[in-house]
């Protein structure tokens, strides 16, 4: 049928039309979409869709409920969301239960400070009241964090997260302590632990950080008490001294021994009428430092073992200092304080760099000192109180703070003539993670989890030699393997990403001392142990602890403070030691890492939608000392297994120069600000665009590049959506075999990129997802495919099969793009999805990732790669012609190609595609080029410009009804009029 009047030509061109705006307007659009998801109850819908699918469990490491989120916290949660959403879209049932770490020192110190500002002291309040304020603080902080995490587009059980301070969780924490007791891995003993003088509590390995610190370095001489002839006859009758070196002069009052290596050679050399002993290898170095001259007369050389169990005298106190041998003594080596060595070892190593081969040993102030002191039966002597002051028994220095006492001690030794040399010494030294003050190593009675020993050896005697525990009632039937051995074997079974994680964790477990789990604090889970008021026997029975745990489950851990001991013990419980029924309660709480480490049991086993063990944990590298570590030990106590199958480590967020971000330094990128300006999507895309296995850099400039990348992806989606206007998939889809060849090429590209993206998601390599999608969008699509099909889409009759062919492929592309972006650009992918025709699911987050197409595309890509290579040459020639003002737009050009052989064959085969491929009006093909390839000539196109399609043609004006259009447009217009 022909209409009466000719059509308005402009209206016959199919211009793109879509509600998917070019400008994203994310800052406004995202909250609206969150509201939409809320109304849909999207997370529930996803859960329901996942029913019956295989489970995939990513277990959330709980962030500390204390402060607002920063870029690092946002990045951590976004990476987790990438995992949850991608595994969901791979067809797994992937619930997400977020958690919060609520107990511990940071909140306590915050609350204490807040009280101080109001002129109140912690001790003015009852423990219950203080705990209530801490709880309220944690609640407030976690609410604000939850709001921020939701704003980032993260879906999960936000209404029901796990809290380490919930009744159930506190009860499970106590039950896990019972489990350790049951396995014979708990003991109470006095051994050196990190101690913060300001916060007055023991600290775990994970709670110290290393900073540069200046200490006095001293060389001190200790007189030999034993007969020198016992070492070597040449020394008979001489005044012999042993030279030690230390950077902690304040530990010298606690010196009880000197340790040498049994196999090293030591030398005794003359200085005036005195004789000094140091390791032979260090004689020159020590003599140089101490100004003893260079022409030294060595009187004797002997192995360290010669000194074993001889006696020195303390440098100034009237008591012996035992000579001992230990394999841990070294002669040098760089200090490596950054690794998970404890302070004494880190310090020993650095000591030996400048040392003497004779190690000052204070069993109350160092791990190695403690171990060797125990072996030689020395007292674990620690004359330092909780605040770090010397106790009254310390002659000359009683009441002084240890760090303040360093200089007076040095002066005192100088006056006494026992100091050979002192200087300032810079080294890495452990500091408290909270208050940033240097910590000390100090022996106090603490609860420990034993890494090595069998449980019968763990009953530590108190000062009176009395057994303070009744663990003998709880002997396991078969003695368990040591916790360390089990941990080391489990580590090998875990998949660590990146692979260096396995070494890091192995070293961590190999070197760590017993786990000190007691803290002299209030805000946490109390160590549920009772002491007999009459005979001091400790009750740490699993059944009793579980009884207390049941009370926690009903009333929360506050019950420990609100009930007297009698109400917490099973009714009628009597002391096994003396039959008394009066009790006191342990006042220490458990290490917060014990709390959070319990999460696999308290959460994964408690919620029906989850299961133990988790498939994956993902956190920053600091968790090798923290959560990865405590979770592993608790997993072993619970089930003899690691609680995770895969552990992923992400890097830190740094500024563009690789420095840490600090608000005060002005280089911090604040998520809240970015969200307000550009949208959460930009932070998400930044996370995906950066390789998170390394440190991740961010700055305004970097985020601007990410925004540009976002725009490219958005424009790609918009082009596809705009050209799908009027396309009804059910009616208009063209079967694969009938598609235009370039459209099949685009499908081959789609299949290639889909495979790449699926593999990257599988391997948690989100940066490779982004790279693959970005390159696909910019190279294959924007620069090639979209460019080439524009003419067909715009100028062909709407229902023309060739146009439908392109649309068929565009729909596949837009659909796959939305799906593949779904886990990353959660808002934008959903918006794309909304604008696609006929989607079954109401949100992209209910859809699955695309499958790579199974069509056989082998022949296509290589053929088209050759055509695109020729195209690149042609486009270059066109550009040159444009610069030379020979032509204006490329449609004003005619391209003449000369080729031979296979190149000619290829071009001939695709002759009808070439004008579209080059976006020119005419292409002439001829024989003639000798080598492989084609010669290109550009000339002005023949004929006149068609008003409708802007191509040039000699046939413009053939049809008088539309005198200004070309023959192609004539055909299109005829089609349009017929279909009208």
Q: Coil, strand, or helix at residue 553?
A: helix
Q: Which is nearer to Zn ion, 201 or 623 (CB)?
A: 201
Q: How far is the CB of 577 from Zn ion (least distance, A)?
A: 4
Q: Is 386 exposed, middle or buried (0-12, 13-18, 19+ CB in 10 A)?
A: middle
Give the range of 515-523, 628-636, 799-807, 964-972 binding Zn ion by CB under 5 A.
Answer: 964-972
Question: Cα dist. 749→140, 426, 718, 744, 864 in Å?
Answer: 50, 59, 19, 9, 11
Angle at 193 between CA 190 and CA 198, to 5 degrees: 115
Across the strands, what pairs with 421?
219
Which lies closer to Zn ion via its Cβ, residue 408 or residue 577? 577
Count of positions on this chain that bind Zn ion (CB under 5 A): 20
Antiparallel, parallel or unpaired: β 589-590 and 518-519: antiparallel
Q: Of residues 230, 435, 660, 779, which one binds Zn ion by CB under 5 A?
A: 435
575 binds Zn ion (CB under 5 A): yes
Among 55, 151, 198, 974, binds Zn ion (CB under 5 A): 198
Contacts of 8 (CB under 8 A, 6+ apart): none
- Is residue 222 a contact partner of residue 329, using CB atoms and an 8 Å limit? no
Assess 839 for contact with Zn ion (CB under 5 A). no
Candidates 71-79, 400-408, 431-439, 925-933: pick the segment binding Zn ion (CB under 5 A).
Answer: 431-439
Q: In the bound complex, what is the minimum distance in angstroms from residue 539's beta carbon to Zn ion? A: 9
Residue 165 CB, nearest approach to Zn ion (Å): 22
Say whether residue 934 binds Zn ion (CB under 5 A): no
**Residue (435 or 869) nearer to Zn ion, CB:** 435
Span of 53-61, 347-355, 764-772, 943-951 interacting with Zn ion by CB under 5 A: 943-951
Residue 776: C-alpha distances to residues 469, 474, 712, 773, 786 (Å): 68, 64, 11, 5, 12
Q: CB under 5 A: which stretch of 209-217, 279-287, 466-474, 957-965 binds Zn ion?
A: 957-965
Q: Is 538 in the site for Zn ion (CB under 5 A)?
A: no
Nearer to Zn ion, 58 or 970 (CB): 970
Q: Alpha-carbon distance 405 to 209, whole Å?
A: 23
CA distance linking residue 544 with residue 169, whole number of Å:
18
* Closest approach of Zn ion to the CB of residue 965, in Å: 5
Residue 882: partners with Cβ closer than 8 Å, 6 or more residues away: 888, 890
> What is the nearest approach in angstroms of Zn ion to the Cβ of residue 90?
45
Min dist. Cβ of residue 610 to Zn ion (A): 35
Task: Decide if residue 387 touches Zn ion (CB under 5 A).
Answer: no
Give the single-character DSSP code of 536.
Answer: -
Residue closer to Zn ion (CB basis): 105 or 256: 105
Collapsed DSSP state (helix, strand, coil) of residue 899: strand
Tokens matching residue 777:
């969008």
Torsion of CA 289, 290, 292, 298, to 10 degrees: -80
Least distance to Zn ion from the beta carbon of 949, Å?
3
Q: Is 665 exposed, middle or buried (0-12, 13-18, 19+ CB in 10 A)?
A: exposed
CB of 762 to Zn ion, least distance (A): 44
**Is residue 353 a contact residue for Zn ion (CB under 5 A)?**
no
Minimum gap (Å) between residue 946 Cβ and Zn ion = 3
Choosing from 75, 186, 532, 817, the residue that interacts with Zn ion (CB under 5 A) is 532
CB of 914 within 8 A of CB of 923? yes
Q: Which sign, positive or negative, has the C-alpha torsion 551, 556, 561, 563? A: negative
Place of tokens 């109350």: 364
Site string for Zn ion, 215-244 (x = CB under 5 A): ------------------------------
Q: How many residues does the chain have?
A: 980
Beta bridge partners of 938: 895
Site membership for Zn ion, residue 565 (CB under 5 A): no
In angstroms, rounded to a whole number, what is the distance separating the alpha carbons of residues 113 and 132? 15
Buried b (16+ CB within 10 A) or exposed e, 118-131: eeeebeebebeebb
Query: Does 170 contact Zn ion by CB under 5 A?
Result: no
The answer to the question of residue 535 lying near Zn ion (CB under 5 A) is yes
Binding part of the chain for Zn ion, among 74-82, 145-153, 193-201, 218-226 by CB under 5 A, reads: 193-201
Told to check if 946 binds Zn ion by CB under 5 A, we report yes
* Among positions 537, 595, 615, 743, the unique one binding Zn ion when judged by CB under 5 A: 537
Q: What are phi and psi of 76, to 5 degrees?
A: -55, -45
Q: How far apart are CA 408 and CA 218, in angstroms?
A: 13
- Shortest separation between residue 199's beta carbon and Zn ion, angstroms: 4
Closest CA to 947 of 12, 122, 105, 1: 12
Q: How far is the CB of 547 from Zn ion (least distance, A)?
A: 19
949 binds Zn ion (CB under 5 A): yes
Nearer to Zn ion, 90 or 535 (CB): 535
CB of 337 to Zn ion, least distance (A): 18
Residue 913's alpha-carbon distances to 117, 789, 974, in angstroms, are: 79, 10, 22
Calculate ∠ Cα 199-202-205, nearest 5°. Answer: 115
Q: Residue 293 or 579: which CB sits closer to Zn ion? A: 579
- Chosen residue from 21, 230, 481, 578 binding Zn ion by CB under 5 A: 578
Which region, judged by CB under 5 A, interacts with Zn ion, from 225-233, 522-530, 577-585, 783-791?
577-585
For Zn ion, the binding residues in 785-804 under the rule CB under 5 A are none
Q: How far apart are CA 906 and CA 870, in angstroms?
A: 11
Q: Give 387-409 as a DSSP string.
A: TSBBPTTSTTTTT-BHHHHHHHH
Applying CB under 5 A, the span of 260-268, 735-743, 818-826, 960-968 interacting with Zn ion comes to 960-968
> Residue 162 or residue 593: which is nearer to Zn ion going by CB?
593
Residue 427 pairs in a beta bridge with 213
Token output for 735: 């079967």
Candidate segments 48-56, 278-286, 568-576, 929-937, binder of Zn ion by CB under 5 A: 568-576
Distance, in Å, from the CA atom of 796 to the CA atom of 791, rounded to the nearest integer, reads 8
| Minimum gap (Å) between residue 944 Cβ and Zn ion | 10
Nearer to Zn ion, 13 or 371 (CB): 13
The CA-to-CA distance between both ends of the chain, in Å, stands at 8
Among 30, 148, 172, 199, the residue binding Zn ion under the rule CB under 5 A is 199
For residue 788, the tally of other CB atoms under 10 A from its CB is 21
Answer for which of 948, 952, 959, 962 binds Zn ion (CB under 5 A) is 948
CA separation for the pair 423, 786 (Å, rounded): 73
User: What is d(CA 248, CA 347) in angstroms, rounded to the nearest whole number?
Assistant: 9
174, 825, 907, 969: which one binds Zn ion (CB under 5 A):
969
Q: Three-state SS for 328? A: coil
Binding flag, residue 972, Zn ion (CB under 5 A)? no
Closer to Zn ion by Cβ: residue 811 or 949? 949
Binds Zn ion (CB under 5 A): choice among 107, 193, 196, 483: 196
> Are the CB atoms for 277 and 268 separated by under 8 Å?
yes
Question: Which one of 270-278, 465-473, 475-483, 969-977 is the stretch in contact with Zn ion (CB under 5 A)?
Answer: 969-977
Span interacting with Zn ion, options 276-284, 406-414, 428-436, 551-559, rule CB under 5 A: 428-436
**Choice from 577, 837, 861, 943 touching Zn ion (CB under 5 A):** 577
- Select the span of 175-183, 425-433, 658-666, 699-707 touching Zn ion (CB under 5 A): 425-433
Q: Does residue 966 bind Zn ion (CB under 5 A)? A: yes
Q: Which residues bind Zn ion (CB under 5 A)?
A: 196, 198-199, 432, 434-435, 532, 534-535, 537, 575, 577-578, 580, 946, 948-949, 965-966, 969
């Amino acid at each position: 049928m022909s209409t009466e009047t000719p059509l308005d030509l402009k209206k016959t061109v199919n211009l793109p039309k879509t509600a998917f705006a070019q400008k994203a307007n994310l800052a406004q659009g995202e909250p609206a979409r969150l509201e939409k998801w809320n109304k849909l109850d999207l997370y529930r819908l996803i859960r329901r869709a996942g029913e019956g699918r295989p489970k995939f469990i990513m277990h959330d490491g709980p962030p500390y409920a204390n402060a607002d989120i920063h870029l690092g916290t946002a990045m951590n949660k976004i990476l987790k969301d990438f995992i949850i959403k991608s595994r969901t879209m791979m067809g797994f049932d992937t619930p997400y239960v977020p958690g919060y770490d609520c107990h511990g020192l940071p909140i306590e110190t915050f609350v204490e400070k807040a009280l101080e500002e109001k002129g109140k002291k912690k001790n003015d309040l009852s423990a219950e009241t203080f705990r209530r304020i801490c709880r309220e603080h944690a609640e407030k902080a976690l609410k604000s964090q939850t709001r921020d995490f939701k704003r980032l587009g993260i879906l999960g059980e936000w209404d029901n997260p796990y809290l380490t301070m919930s009744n159930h969780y506190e009860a499970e924490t106590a039950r896990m302590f019972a489990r350790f007791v049951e396995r014979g891995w708990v003991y109470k003993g006095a051994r050196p632990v990190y101690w913060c003088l300001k916060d007055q509590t023991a600290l775990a390995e994970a709670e110290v950080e290393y900073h540069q610190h200046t200490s006095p370095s001293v060389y001190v001489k200790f007189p030999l008490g034993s007969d020198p002839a016992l070492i070597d006859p040449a020394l008979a009758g001489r005044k012999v001294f042993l030279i030690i070196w230390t950077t902690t002069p304040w530990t010298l009052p606690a010196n009880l021994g000197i340790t040498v290596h049994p196999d090293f050679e030591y030398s005794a050399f003359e200085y005036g009428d005195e004789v000094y002993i140091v390791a032979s290898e260090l004689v020159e170095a020590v003599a140089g430092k101490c100004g003893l001259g260079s022409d030294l007369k060595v009187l004797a050389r002997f192995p360290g073992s010669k000194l074993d169990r001889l006696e020195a005298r303390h440098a100034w106190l009237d008591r012996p200092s035992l000579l001992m041998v230990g394999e841990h003594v070294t002669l040098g080596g760089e200090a490596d304080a950054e690794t998970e060595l404890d302070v004494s070892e880190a310090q020993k190593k650095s000591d030996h760099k400048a040392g003497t081969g004779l190690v000052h040993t204070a069993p109350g102030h160092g791990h190695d000192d403690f171990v060797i002191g125990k072996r030689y039966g020395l007292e674990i002597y620690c004359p330092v109180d909780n605040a770090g002051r010397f106790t009254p028994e310390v002659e000359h220095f009683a009441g002084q703070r240890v760090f303040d006492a360093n200089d007076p001690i040095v002066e005192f030794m100088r006056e006494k003539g026992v100091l050979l040399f002192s200087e300032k010494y810079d080294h890495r030294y452990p500091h408290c993670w909270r208050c940033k003050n240097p910590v000390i190593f100090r022996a106090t009675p603490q609860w420990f989890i034993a890494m090595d020993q069998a449980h019968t050896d763990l009953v530590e005697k108190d000062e009176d030699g009395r057994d303070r525990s009744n663990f003998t009632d709880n002997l396991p039937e078969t003695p368990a393997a040591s916790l360390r051995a089990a941990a080391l074997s489990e580590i090998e079974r875990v998949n660590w990403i990146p692979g260096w994680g396995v070494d890091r964790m192995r070293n961590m477990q190999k070197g760590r001392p017993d786990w000190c789990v007691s803290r002299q604090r209030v805000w946490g889970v109390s160590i549920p142990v009772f002491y007999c008021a009459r005979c001091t026997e400790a009750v740490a029975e699993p059944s009793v602890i579980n009884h207390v745990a049941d009370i926690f489950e009903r009333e929360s851990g506050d019950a420990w403070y609100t009930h007297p001991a009698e109400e917490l013990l099973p009714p009628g419980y009597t002391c096994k030691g003396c039959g008394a029924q009066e009790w006191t309660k342990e006042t220490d709480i458990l290490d917060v890492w014990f709390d959070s480490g319990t999460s696999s049991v308290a959460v994964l086993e408690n919620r029906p939608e989850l299961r133990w063990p988790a498939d994956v944990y993902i956190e920053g590298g600091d968790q090798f000392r923290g959560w990865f570590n405590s979770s592993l030990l608790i997993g072993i106590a619970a089930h003899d297994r690691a609680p995770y199958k895969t552990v992923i480590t992400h890097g830190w967020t740094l500024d563009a120069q690789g420095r840490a971000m600090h608000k005060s330094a002005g280089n911090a990128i604040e998520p809240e600000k970015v969200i307000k300006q550009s949208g959460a999507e930009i932070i998400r895309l930044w996370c995906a665009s950066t390789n998170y296995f390394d440190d991740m850099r961010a700055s305004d400039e970097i985020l601007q590049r990410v925004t540009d990348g976002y725009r490219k992806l958005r424009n790609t989606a918009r082009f596809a959506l705009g050209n799908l206007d009027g396309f009804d998939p059910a009616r208009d889809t063209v079967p694969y075999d009938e598609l235009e060849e370039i459209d099949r090429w685009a499908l081959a590209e789609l299949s290639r990129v889909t495979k790449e993206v699926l593999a990257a998601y599988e391997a948690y390599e989100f940066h490779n997802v982004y790279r693959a999608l970005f390159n696909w969008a910019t190279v294959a699509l924007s620069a090639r495919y979209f460019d080439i099909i524009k003419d067909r889409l715009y100028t062909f009759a709407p229902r023309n099969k060739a146009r439908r062919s392109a649309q068929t492929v565009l729909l596949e592309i837009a659909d796959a793009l939305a799906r593949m972006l779904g886990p990353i650009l959660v808002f934008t992918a959903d918006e794309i999805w909304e604008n696609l025709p006929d989607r079954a699911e109401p949100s992209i987050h209910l859809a699955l990732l695309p499958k790579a197409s199974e069509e056989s595309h082998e022949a296509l890509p290589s053929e088209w790669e050759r055509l695109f290579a020729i195209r690149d040459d042609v486009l270059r020639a066109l550009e040159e012609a444009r610069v030379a003002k020979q032509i204006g737009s490329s449609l004003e050009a005619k391209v003449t190609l000369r080729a031979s052989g296979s190149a000619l064959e290829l071009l001939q085969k695709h002759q009808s595609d070439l004008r579209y491929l080059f976006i020119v009006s005419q292409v002439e093909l001829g024989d003639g080029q000798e080598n492989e390839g084609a010669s290109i000539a550009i000339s002005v196109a023949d004929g006149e410009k068609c008003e409708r399609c802007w191509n040039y043609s000699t046939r413009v004006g053939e049809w008088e009804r539309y005198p200004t259009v070309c023959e192609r447009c004539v055909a299109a217009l005829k089609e349009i009029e017929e279909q009208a």
